[in-house]
Amino acid sequence: MASEENFDVDLDNEKVFYDNRWMSRADLAALLGQRLASMDYNIARLSSAIEHLDRTLKTLETFSVKLTPETAAQLKETAHRTGITVGGVIRESVISYLVGVALSKLG
């Protein structure tokens, strides 16, 4: 049994990194259609990318957070300055916090 390939997923834009570019479901479906129309049946990796994107997006959980206007402004400014979406900054912050908690338990 072949091991499943992992693909990078852009959660905010719902795209997967495939064939050296970010592609949406529609992009992947169009590419799949083109390959099949040209009788190119080498689609296993493409199919895996589609499945990986779908599986990832279906398992996401959404949370709501309330912030003061000052904190929200800082968050938006940080996102703008770093070129990361607000959701991306929040995700990175949560991961950093959780890693810090785990490390503090070690010693």
What tens digit of pLDDT does each residue of 15-70 get?
999 999 999 999 999 999 999 999 999 999 999 999 999 999 999 999 999 999 99
Q: What is the pLDDT of residues 71-80, one digit of tens each?
A: 999 999 999 9
64 domain-assigned = no
Q: Do 73 and 93 have their domain in common?
A: yes
Domain that holds residue 81: 69-106
Interhelix angle 25-37/44-59, rounded to 10 degrees, is 160
Do 79 and 46 share a structural domain?
A: no
Closest CA to 49 of 37, 57, 60: 57
Same-domain status, 43 and 73:
no
73 within a domain of the structure (yes/no): yes
Percent of the chain clearing pLDDT 90 (strictly above)? 93
Query: Quick check: is 4 in a domain?
Result: no
* Strands of the sheet with 9-10, listed across from one edge: 9-10, 15-18, 21-23
Q: Indicate if 54 and 79 belong to the same structural domain.
A: no
Is residue 94 domain-resident?
A: yes
